[in-house]
Structure 1
Amino acid sequence: MHDAADTRTTGPRDHHADVAILGGGLAGLTLAMQLRQRHPDLAVTVIERRAHPVREAAHKVGESSVEIGAHYFAHTLGLREHLETEQIRKFGFRFFFSEGADKVDRCTELGVSQLMPTPSWQIDRGRFENHLGERARALGVRFDDDAVVRGLDIADDDGDHAVRIEQAGETHTVTCRWLVDASGRAGLVKRKLDLAMANDHNANAVWWRVDGIVDPNSWSQDAHWLQRCDPPDRWRSTNHMCGPGYWFWLIPLSSGAHSLGIVCDADMHPLDTMNTHAKAMDWLRTHQPQVAASLDSTEHTLQDFLFLRHFSYGVKQVFSRNRWALTGEAGLFLDPFYSPGSDFIAISNTYICDLIEKERAGTDIGPYAELYQQLYFSFYENTLTLYQDQYPLFGDEQVMPVKVIWDYTYYWALLAPLFFAERLTDLATLGRLRPAFNEARALNLALQPLLREWGARNTARGRAPASRLLDQFHIGWFREMNSALNDTLDTEAFVARIADNVARMRWLAAEILGRARQDHADIDDHGLDALLADTTDVPVSLGANWYADAA
């Protein structure tokens, strides 16, 4: 066992670890903490390329957390106090359908007027990772920062893995029982084993940070608009400025900077139109002129700029019976819309902890590694459907708000409750839930193309913006789903809750199909009629205002 005094090394030396983690960013440090909290006798070494402490407002994506990731940080890892005092409580997602608008307060706005019951936070990654490094070392993790991995030997039998490291101009070797790749897009194990795999989500992103907080309330002098939210703190939201084929994010950081980024369909908005800061600002002046005018202020000095082409990807394997695993962006990456990155870190880290625990107890982990990987890939594939081929409708102020409600409902109905209830590895309960998960998946696979077709037909018809707030907080059942994530339920009640959630999805799907047919009587049902054949007594889920023609 390492004691805290051993964890800050002054130079290279060979040693053995039970678990060696390549990468001391968000995924690697949270995994190290989770392992040591569960098993204080476990020797864990983290190998990080950057020197710590890192600068605040670190140039990384993943600053906006949602319910699973936020719960993982606050509850599983016990970081609630840091999040409450050193980060920013998030005011939910907020969407402005503001393509070409010079008056954002005259557009459709989607968001909450009050905080939802289950919290999430905007995370300054530099500040957070510095805190994680300190906490990991205090827990007895050996954290070798400013260290470069020069070679990997991955055992294909019961032998140890080996990692060759250069640090302070010298080299040493770490042998380990378990090897976990948390090296981000460097993907050290993925490259070594040729595990990279493309997906069909063709999107690019550029992002940068500026000094100072960008406050959407400064864009209006309309007293009614300013007071729509209580408190009137739109700046604390993850603000999405939406248009056909793209969205632009604004995320506040507790260090006093603001994170900004354009994410777009690669065919509709080519990367070469925005791959420098000057080009990105010109692009904003065309598509989001009021935002661009705000950012042109001298108080918002540029800090950095980066772009990524084809940022989304899958992977062939993440967990192995040979005691290696991938987590975070070293494995796969979806899309920053809905901020699922920390969710998938939480899920993969939980599976890795369970596999390590089982292997230490002498269990044959082969079947578990295969099953956990199947589950993890199913979560990835189902979530990818929310983004793939859907960017063209992002500017539709009628269909996109309905899609957001559907996507949230899908998330809060199944995956989020499973994580909150700590049942990701409860195979008996997962077996009982398989029919519900299959039904929900089928509903979603039919709903996404319906929404896509609805949006495409609206584009042909033409629409005009309207000054309105579509307030998610005042959808009673929606707010209750968010609150219910925190309920403690026995197995029978939990299974019943999931069944009720899928029933809600079925009712909502029936309502959405009916509303789409009111707009376009000949729209394809995409298989929904068959799935909804037994649905009766459909309650009013959203209300007419959510479907109202804004023209």
Structure 2
Amino acid sequence: MNNQYDVVILGGGLAGLTLALQLKQEEPQIRIAVLEMRKKEAPNSAHKVGESTVELGTYYLREVLGLKDYLDEYQLPKIGLRFYFSPQIKEQIDQRVELGAKGTLPVPSHQIDRGIFENELTKRLLNMRVDVILGARIKAVDLNEIEGHTVTYSKEGQNYEVTGRWVSDATGRVGLLKRKLGFEKPLEHNINAVWFRVKGEVDVNDWSNNEQWANKLPKGLRRLGTIHFMGTGYWVWLIPLVSGNTSVGIVADPRFHDFSEFNKLDKAMEWLQKNEPLCAQKLESYREDVIDFRILKHYSHHSGRFYSTEKWGVVGEAGAFLDPFYSPGTDFISIGNTWMSDLILRDYRGEDVASRSIIYERVHAAFFDSWVPIYNQQYELFGNTQVMVSKVLWDWGVYWGIPTLLFTNKGYINLEVLRALFTSRNSLGTRLGKLNSQLQQFFRQWAVCSNEPYINFFIDFFDIPFLKKMHLDLEIQHSVEGLIAQCKENLEILEQMAAEIYRRVLAEQKGTPQNMKINPYKASLELSKEELLAQAEEKGAIDTAAYIAKDLEMMWLKEKLAV
């Protein structure tokens, strides 16, 4: 085994293994060591969370890493995220408002058994002559850009040293470099989670005797989605695994659900009986077949650093992690690995990457910060059906319209694109962040004013034409000029979408005209009717777009629970 490397990766989980694969595929001669504390193969249904991927992370795995054929053959397809609202009728799944796809999606995603997947990645790397060293417990990291970084690790009682031109920390929540160098950064978002696996398939399509409801979708389709059962302050997930097992999770805001109420298996089952009784009932038969149980308190964390001009960086959860609600974990790994590998490879080929390191770090931090409002203080909305339908559709539009489109078109490593979209005070990225933050705040205001018990409704985002187009556009490859233009067009659509949501709610709650001009960056339910009318006359207020209004008409719920 060598002890001189171009790159030493600390940690052989999903982030570290995929980074090594990305580097080796791009540059077959690069010398890589991956130091992983695990001593042997990961078990099937591994004791990890993060099985569900969405479009950005899936593109990375399938197209960037070339794992398309493997994923299609050995992992499960995913039929999107599927939400069940209407917490007033938790025991009648066929009457809950359901938001999800009616068929297979053209832009794919997957449900991944992490143990099986990480073992496959390890095997591939070994075949590519990457030194994946299992049972390696890291003892020290001495950073020295001039002479090479030195990493000391122990294995089977012996100490070893390796040096690398680059060091990438992929140690997950251990955050080795973050702790060593002291760049931890607090994050206000405070949510707790538990999760466990059960042996066997759990299919919510069997949870009702209503044949009309069960037959609304093709058999097996509902099971392949990432299921979200929603209620105030919490959501519960069901995720199928290719091993034939099912992942179950509870994620809850301690302001509404104290962690001590569900932080052990028996307590978690009692909590489900209280908060999702039908789910608890259906899982009871699997009680003796629980494979594992894990807890994670206050899982969100930030990072003060990502990429250093001194040739080190952090990827995956060794950097920052926000929330699992929209399955973004693989997305953040994908973007971080893309920046990290671009720096390493450019340096390997002789380019000075100091300025890129600074730019990528700033954009990464801004990108993460722009996503915080989507989750922070939003769990209080999870029991409000109409607000959450609107929020989920909005969040999907934002996700597809710009960040995912940028990734599928290599925009994050194109300095021309980054300068055009993120560097000026009124840049597209800045405007999107402000627009999203304003609307997330509006959702909270709206939830205080109205929480009608809507029931018996199904909505598929593909029924909303402009959202469908954003999703399909992810498969289009643009020129640099075309990518910038498409992002600008999508931001204008999102401004119109936000304005239409404001317009509808303000008319109901404040009595303003339904065709009133709206400034989507300033509208608020805290303003009076007179202030809103005055705002409509100011610069920045926009007229209604007829096609957006028409498209969004189908997201407004109609049938209410009879009281």
TM-score, normalized by the shorter chain, greater than 0.5: yes
Indicate if the aligned counterparts of 1:226 and 1:232 stay in contact, CA closer than 8 A. Answer: no
TM-score, structure 2 as length reference: 0.92
Among 116, 119, 122, the alignment partner of 2:111 is 122
- Residue aligned with 2:69, SS: helix
How many angstroms does 1:164 deviate by?
A: 0.9
AA partner of residue 228 (structure 2): H
Indicate if the aligned counterparts of 1:211 and 1:258 stay in contact, CA closer than 8 A. Answer: yes
Residue 27 to residue 289, structure 1, CA distance change in 2 (3 Å): same
Q: Does 1:437 align with 2:445?
A: no
Structure 1 residues 354-373: aligned runs within 5 Å: 354-373=342-361
In structure 1, the partner of 2:542 is 534
How many angstroms does 1:532 deviate by?
A: 5.0
Residue 203 to residue 72, structure 1, CA distance change in 2 (3 Å): same
AA partner of residue 451 (structure 1): F
Structure 1 residues 24-423: aligned runs within 5 Å: 24-99=12-87, 101-155=90-144, 157-298=145-286, 301-423=289-411
In structure 1, the partner of 2:555 is 546
- Residue aligned with 2:413, SS: coil
How many angstroms does 1:492 deviate by?
A: 2.3
Residue 424 to residue 110, structure 1, CA distance change in 2 (3 Å): same
Runs of 5+ consecutive residues of structure 1 not aligned to the other structure: 1-12
Indicate if the aligned counterparts of 1:465 and 1:550 stay in contact, CA closer than 8 A. Answer: yes
Indicate if the aligned counterparts of 1:212 and 1:299 stay in contact, CA closer than 8 A. Answer: no
- Residue aligned with 2:401, SS: helix
How many angstroms does 1:169 deviate by?
A: 2.0
How many angstroms does 1:433 deviate by?
A: 2.6
**What percentage of aligned pairs have identical amino acids?**
37
How many angstroms does 1:96 deviate by?
A: 0.3
| Distance in 2 of aligned mates of 1:265 and 1:54 | 31
Deviations 1:72-105 (A, max 9, x none): 0000000011110111100110000153611111
431-440 or 510-519: which moved more?
431-440
In structure 1, the partner of 2:528 is none
AA partner of residue 522 (structure 2): G
AA partner of residue 438 (structure 1): T
Indicate if the aligned counterparts of 2:185 and 2:301 stay in contact, CA closer than 8 A. Answer: yes
Indicate if the aligned counterparts of 2:203 and 2:220 stay in contact, CA closer than 8 A. Answer: no
Aligned residues: 535
- Residue aligned with 1:296, SS: helix
AA partner of residue 439 (structure 1): R
Indicate if the aligned counterparts of 1:450 and 1:526 stay in contact, CA closer than 8 A. Answer: no
Deviations 1:334-389 (A, max 9, x none): 10011111011111111111111222233332221111011111111111111001
AA partner of residue 9 (structure 2): I
Deviations 1:441-487 (A, max 9, x none): 2211111111111112224xxx3241111122211221121111010
Residue 52 to residue 81, structure 1, CA distance change in 2 (3 Å): farther
In structure 1, the partner of 2:507 is 518
| Distance in 2 of aligned mates of 1:176 and 1:61 | 30
| Distance in 1 of aligned mates of 2:420 and 2:340 | 23
TM-score, structure 1 as length reference: 0.94
Indicate if the aligned counterparts of 1:508 and 1:541 stay in contact, CA closer than 8 A. Answer: no
AA partner of residue 527 (structure 1): K
Deviations 1:404-456 (A, max 9, x none): 01001111111101100012111112222343222222211111111111112
Q: Which has the higher contact order (CA 8 A, sep 6+)?
A: 1
In structure 2, the partner of 1:10 is none
Q: Does 1:479 align with 2:444?
A: no
How many angstroms does 1:120 deviate by?
A: 0.3
533-542 or 382-391: which moved more?
533-542
| Distance in 1 of aligned mates of 2:172 and 2:193 | 17
- Residue aligned with 2:412, SS: coil
In structure 2, the partner of 1:7 is none
Runs of 5+ consecutive residues of structure 2 not aligned to the other structure: 513-518, 524-534
Indicate if the aligned counterparts of 2:103 and 2:221 stay in contact, CA closer than 8 A. Answer: no
AA partner of residue 431 (structure 2): E
- Residue aligned with 1:520, SS: helix
| Distance in 2 of aligned mates of 1:232 and 1:212 | 14
How many angstroms does 1:251 deviate by?
A: 0.5
